Amino acid sequence: MRPMVCTHQNSEQSKRRLTMEMTKFFTDQLEREVTASRKVLERVPEGRNDWKPHERSMPMGYLAALVAQMPAWIAMMLTTKELNLDDKAASGNFQAKASESSEALLKLADDCAEKAKSALSHATEDHLNVTWSFRMRGKTLNSGPRYQQIADTFTHLAHHRGQLTVYLRLNEIPVPAIFGPSADEPAA
């Protein structure tokens, strides 16, 4: 997020403004993404958690829980220095588990969004610039400043939300308008 330029780079006021701009940017984007995800999650059918379009695809229940849970990754990134999937105690908290009801799925989504909002409200510029890493099987798969990892989380969320809309379509469930009309809804 360094592209934002301050005219007085060394002043405390400029640093506070930059931090507020980055956290406001992420908080605003979080609101948009949560709203879009909720439109999709509301349509996930109960009783279809094990359905998947292909043997190598994720089951629908897991995918829906992943979309619901991904905003909490932001809180994790702001409160840890890494996620190491080799550490079962740490990674177990971030394994998506299918919800048994629409109500439980939407509650999971709301709770995870709230965790992200809370963590972002306490973030500082220095904190957003600390390196955060994702590790698995003894290798670093991804590493970079927290602000970059948070931005990547939004892209990752949009990818899986789009994947979930395909699952809806293949189950004859109307796909909601998200960023514009869908074949089932004329306007967002």
pLDDT tens for 126-138 read 899 999 999 999 9
Q: Does pLDDT of 39 surpass 60?
A: yes
| Residue 107 CB neighbour total at 10 angstroms | 13
Number of H helices and E strands in the chain, helices first, is 7, 3
Number of domains in the chain: 1
Does residue 102 sit within a domain?
yes
Does residue 181 sit within a domain?
no
Does residue 187 sit within a domain?
no
Pairing of strands 82-84, 131-136: parallel
Q: pLDDT tens across 16-35, in order?
A: 555 568 899 999 999 999 99
Q: Does pLDDT of 150 surpass 70?
A: yes
Containing structural domain, residue 32: 18-170
Per-residue confidence (pLDDT) for residue 5, from 0 to 100? 43
CATH code of the domain containing 162: 1.20.120.450
Overall pTM > 0.95: no
Does residue 134 sit within a domain?
yes
Does residue 97 sit within a domain?
yes
Does residue 179 sit within a domain?
no
Does residue 164 sit within a domain?
yes
Per-residue confidence (pLDDT) for residue 17, from 0 to 100? 57
Does residue 183 sit within a domain?
no
